[in-house]
Chain A
Amino acid sequence: MHGLIGPNGSGKTTTMRIISGIIKRFEGKAEVLGHHLPPERSKLKGLVAYLPEDLRLYGRLTGWENILYFAMLYADTREEAESMAEYGARIAGLSEKDLARRASEYSKGMARRVALARTLMTRSPLTILDEPTSGLDVFSAYRMRESIREFARETGSTVIISSHNMLEVQNLCDRVTLILRGRAVASGSPKEIIESVGAADLEEAFVKLASGGGVE
């Protein structure tokens, strides 16, 4: 699990969009799952799962239908789609009762869990989560982190996660990259980054690195 950290506007979301194959014109090169971007961008379709920040659900559909719709886009048969959707619901800790309700009735935490289920169900080799716990209460954020951790353990999929919660990144991620003004200024395990600047934790390391990088 790889954490992307950086202040607002530093380029985390843009980096994630490039890696997921959404952006087709950018300077430089990227290699994702053996495919060179931008020329082989289209080959990434279906290989990368992406949960955008603030993604909302289709309010008139039930939670189950929201997951099933995306599953049908990946699967060849209805049975396969249902099986994928069931996996997503299980990994996100969603009950049948939860999923039978219309998405418009969900709390923010519940909606994010359904969105997470929709992303994780594909068991893609690369899963990108843009601030998945942003704005959630402590309990909902904890449930989300547990689901992500369980998914990574079960599937062995590479997960890239961005967050402003340094404690979350420190606990979840094996490696972290700090982005400032579109450039990676530090990369390594949380422990390595913390030790490199003599900080007590990742938050202090972030502040030190970001201040040194001229962040106002």
Chain B
Amino acid sequence: MSKLYPIIWKEIKDMLMDYRTLVVIAVMPVIMMPLMSMASVYVPGLQIVTVCVIDEDNSLTTLGGQRVGSVNLTTAIVQALESNGFIVQENSCGGYDIRVLVRPGFTRNLTDLTVRAVVEVERVIGVQRAVDAENIIRSVVSWFSAVVSQARIEYLASKAGIEVNPAAVRDPVGTEARVVGPGGAPVQPGEDIRVWLARVMAFGLLFVTTPSIGYITDSVVGEKERRTLEALLVTPVGPKALIVGKAFAASIVGLVVSIGDVMGVLLFFGLPSLVRGVNILSYLTPAMLVAHVVAVYISVLASLALILPVLVRVGSYRASQAVSLVVMSAASVIFFASLYADITKLPQPASSALLLLPYTAAVAMLKSVVTGDLVSSVMYALTALGVSAGLIGLSALIFDEEKAVYSKT
């Protein structure tokens, strides 16, 4: 291993001279993460969706001492929709994506204890923004229904001459929920949001797998294509030093990428703050950012460690591309699944087996940092690093110099 230094020296120098690729790699998350953020938060708001609210009843009545009717319901619906950026046409509309219709007699039905008053909502299929509008309308109707039912209870109570708590009658069973940490201690407000942020950050790791695979492929297969491998094989350097040195140098890409990825994460969470006025950034902690940097490095190391055993055996660009695709697809599945599932909660032995995959361990490490379980986070990080190092060691062992020289590129 005494010849490790020159190999790392050369690989890093070669990498740094390819500054255009480095810049692209570092900038890609900075561009892609905000684009994702904008695509999910800002772009939907740009869609022009026609919402039509028609109040054919247009009346108010008194119930239980309160003034209720179609007028205050439709007013509330229009206000809620407009505050969410929808353009609402009232009482006259041609084509529409979603229509709210309050028919005559609606207000009268509010005071009739034998019938339900109905709001008709008609939505054209295939318009996501219209689905959002429907959800807003449903929540307003639900609020209005609660108001009316409270008024009805007050009315009935006055008729019966009994004292009631309208809220207790209307909603007699409540939920008192607490969120606690892994040890059972109550967590601070916002911890749940941090866990969600950690899931999104884990998904962001997807962008760091490709560059490292590209670097290690070029580093190993490129030697063969340039015929420099033959010249290297007669030098005092051993195949182990050659493979380990190349893998270590390629993993340095991870550190460069991590800078870009952290910037991307900050922008991902920062942009909604600007667009929607929700300050998500305040939930990010320095520990989360440090954990993200570690997770990026692990993901990069894991990517090249997973492809290396194949590279040293086949040594052709085409074969390496096929394996790259498999590794990247596996990474995509794991990082995408991390948005929805907790690997640690899967049944055994599936959970332990999956946690041996460096990508899965990186995701689990991120989540453990957020929930304050530092022991587990260190354990997951060490598992991922250990498995990656093992794969690199295996690659060094199975590297067949003769086969590498003779195999077709």
Can you name the residue of chain B whose Cβ is closest to the Cβ of A49? Answer: B234
Chain A residue numbers with a CB within 8 Å of B233 are 21-22
Chain B residue numbers with a CB within 8 Å of A46 are 234-236
Interface residue count on the A side (C-beta < 8 Å)? 32
- Segment among B146-154, B195-203, B222-230 that sits at the interface with chain A: B222-230
Chain A residue numbers with a CB within 8 Å of B236 are 45-46, 73-74
Q: Are B6 and A72 in contact (CB under 8 A)?
A: yes
* B17 within 8 Å of A (CB atoms): yes
Given contacts A23-B402, A53-B227, contact A48 B9 (CB under 8 A): no
Q: Are A21 and B234 in contact (CB under 8 A)?
A: yes
Can you name the residue of chain A whose Cβ is closest to the Cβ of B16? Answer: A60
* B266 within 8 Å of A (CB atoms): no
Can you name the residue of chain A whose Cβ is closest to the Cβ of B241? Answer: A73
* A119 within 8 Å of B (CB atoms): yes
Nearest CB of A to B23, in Å: 15
Nearest CB of A to B10, in Å: 4
* A58 within 8 Å of B (CB atoms): yes
Chain B residue numbers with a CB within 8 Å of A52 are 227, 230-231
The answer for the CA separation of A25 and B405 in the assembled complex, in Å, is 13
Given contacts A46-B236, A73-B3, A74-B236, contact A58 B230 (CB under 8 A): no
Interface size, B (range):
20 to 34
Nearest CB of B to A21, in Å: 6
Chain A residue numbers with a CB within 8 Å of B401 are 22, 24
Given contacts A55-B228, A57-B226, A60-B14, contact A73 B235 (CB under 8 A): yes
* A54 within 8 Å of B (CB atoms): yes
Nearest CB of A to B35, in Å: 30
Chain B residue numbers with a CB within 8 Å of A45 are 234-236, 238
* B54 within 8 Å of A (CB atoms): no
Chain A residue numbers with a CB within 8 Å of B225 are 56
Given contacts A22-B401, A22-B405, contact A50 B230 (CB under 8 A): yes
Q: Are B231 and A51 in contact (CB under 8 A)?
A: yes
Can you name the residue of chain A whose Cβ is closest to the Cβ of B18? Answer: A60
The answer for the CA separation of A45 and B239 in the assembled complex, in Å, is 11
* B143 within 8 Å of A (CB atoms): no
Chain B residue numbers with a CB within 8 Å of A25 are 402
Chain B residue numbers with a CB within 8 Å of A169 are none
Nearest CB of A to B233, in Å: 5
Can you name the residue of chain A whose Cβ is closest to the Cβ of B6? Answer: A72
Task: Select which of A22, A56, A74 is within 8 A of B226 by beta carbon.
Answer: A56
Chain B residue numbers with a CB within 8 Å of A51 are 231
Residues 79-107 of chain A, each 1 if its beta carbon lies under 8 Å from chain B, else 0: 00000000000000000000000100000
* B13 within 8 Å of A (CB atoms): yes
* B232 within 8 Å of A (CB atoms): yes
The answer for the CA separation of A21 and B231 in the assembled complex, in Å, is 11
Chain B residue numbers with a CB within 8 Å of A72 are 5-6, 9
* A70 within 8 Å of B (CB atoms): yes
Nearest CB of A to B256, in Å: 16
* A166 within 8 Å of B (CB atoms): no
* A118 within 8 Å of B (CB atoms): yes
* B237 within 8 Å of A (CB atoms): yes
The answer for the CA separation of A49 and B9 in the assembled complex, in Å, is 22
Q: Are A50 and B228 in contact (CB under 8 A)?
A: no
Chain A residue numbers with a CB within 8 Å of B6 are 69, 72-73
* A44 within 8 Å of B (CB atoms): yes
Nearest CB of B to A192, in Å: 31
The answer for the CA separation of A55 and B223 in the assembled complex, in Å, is 10
The answer for the CA separation of A119 and B405 in the assembled complex, in Å, is 18
Nearest CB of A to B241, in Å: 9
Residues 22-44 of chain A, each 1 if its beta carbon lies under 8 Å from chain B, else 0: 11110000000000000000001
Can you name the residue of chain B whose Cβ is closest to the Cβ of A81? Answer: B6
Q: A45-B234, A58-B14 given. 5 additional CB < 8 A pairs?
A: A45-B238, A46-B235, A55-B228, A72-B5, A73-B237
30 contacts between A and B (CB under 8 A): A17-B405, A21-B234, A22-B233, A24-B402, A45-B238, A46-B234, A46-B235, A49-B234, A53-B227, A55-B227, A55-B230, A56-B225, A56-B228, A57-B228, A58-B10, A58-B14, A60-B17, A60-B18, A61-B13, A61-B14, A61-B17, A69-B6, A69-B9, A70-B231, A72-B9, A73-B6, A73-B7, A73-B235, A102-B17, A119-B231
